[in-house]
Amino acid sequence: MRTPVTMNSIRIGITDCARYANYERWFLDAPTKVDVIRLSYNLNNMDDIDKCEGVVLSGGEDVDPRRYKRPDLLGRLELTDIDEKRDEFEWEIIERALKLKLPILAICRGMQLFNVYHGGTLIFDIPTVTNINGHAKIQGMDQRHEISVGEKTLLNEITGCVKGAVNSSHHQCVETLGTNLLIAARAEEPVVEAIQWRNAHEKPFYLGVQWHPERMVDQNSPFSYNIRQAFLDYIIEHREPSTNDDENTPTHPSESV
């Protein structure tokens, strides 16, 4: 288990979603003190990203397939599973986070959107395209499966593992990788479970995971605890001294939709 770096509170932004409270709780329960900003088109608070020291792209709806040049898939997806306003808002969140060189942790849909932002594509439905099952929820419950972690990847460094078990509740995954991205973990072929920058140590922290570390049953698993702590430790180790001035500390709503 990683030992947390101790310092004054960290300010992170988490993109809004139906299960936002799970993400917020995960970070508020961290050994390192964290303040959370809810980033949402419903709050019209894009500019709050300027107050953040890191960004978490949360899970949720399918990414609009028109964003990866597959409008033909619209007829094969339920439109209730797409939120165009959210896609647009979070597209700009990614753009601004990259310009600000903020560390990014992307979870499930967040990883998929980040990949699409960089020119990648998605397998729109794993069972339909690959005949592979075992990744989507069953009767509302997460499934569990093994993953293989690439040696010398960022995920390998963070977890110290080359194999492990994670929860699973997705029906889509990365197909073609976006520019300058690297696969860090897989389940069975061709299901991608984690991605990172190709030159990870030359860029700000980015890790995308397909599972949900914020709601794993074993919160001490290196695929949950270590990921959160690595993200927070990176922020502390790379922050400017002035970013923790009390006068700049915002207040953050914690209610969930």
Domains of the chain, residue spans: 10-248
CA–CA separation, 217 and 165 (whole Å): 11
CA–CA separation, 123 and 131 (whole Å): 12
pLDDT digits (tens, 9 = 90+) for 15-47: 999 999 999 999 999 999 999 999 999 999 999
19: exposed, middle or buried (Cβ count in 10 Å: 0-12, 13-18, 19+):
middle
161 is catalytic: no
212 is catalytic: yes
CATH number of the domain located at residue range(s) 10-248 in this protein: 3.40.50.880
Q: What is the per-residue pLDDT for 62?
A: 93
pLDDT level of residue 52 (50, 70, 90 thresholds): very high
The answer on pLDDT for 130 being more than 80 is no
Mean of the per-residue pLDDT values of the chain = 88
**Is residue 9 helix, strand or coil?**
coil
Calculate what percentage of the chain has a pLDDT beyond 90. 74
**Phi/psi at 8 (5° precision):** -70, 170
| Greater model confidence, 156 or 253 | 156
Catalytic residue among 24, 53, 61, 108: 108
The answer on pLDDT for 245 being more than 90 is no
Q: Do the Cβ atoms of 196 and 206 come closer than 8 Å?
A: yes
CA–CA separation, 74 and 64 (whole Å): 8
Q: What is the per-residue pLDDT for 127?
A: 82
CA–CA separation, 21 and 56 (whole Å): 13
Does an H or E element contain 114, and which? Answer: helix 109-117
The answer on pLDDT for 11 being more than 90 is yes
Rg (CA), the chain: 17
118 is catalytic: no
Q: What is the per-residue pLDDT for 94?
A: 99
Catalytic residue among 17, 61, 214, 252: 214
The answer on pLDDT for 200 being more than 90 is yes
pLDDT digits (tens, 9 = 90+) for 175-197: 999 999 999 999 987 899 999 99
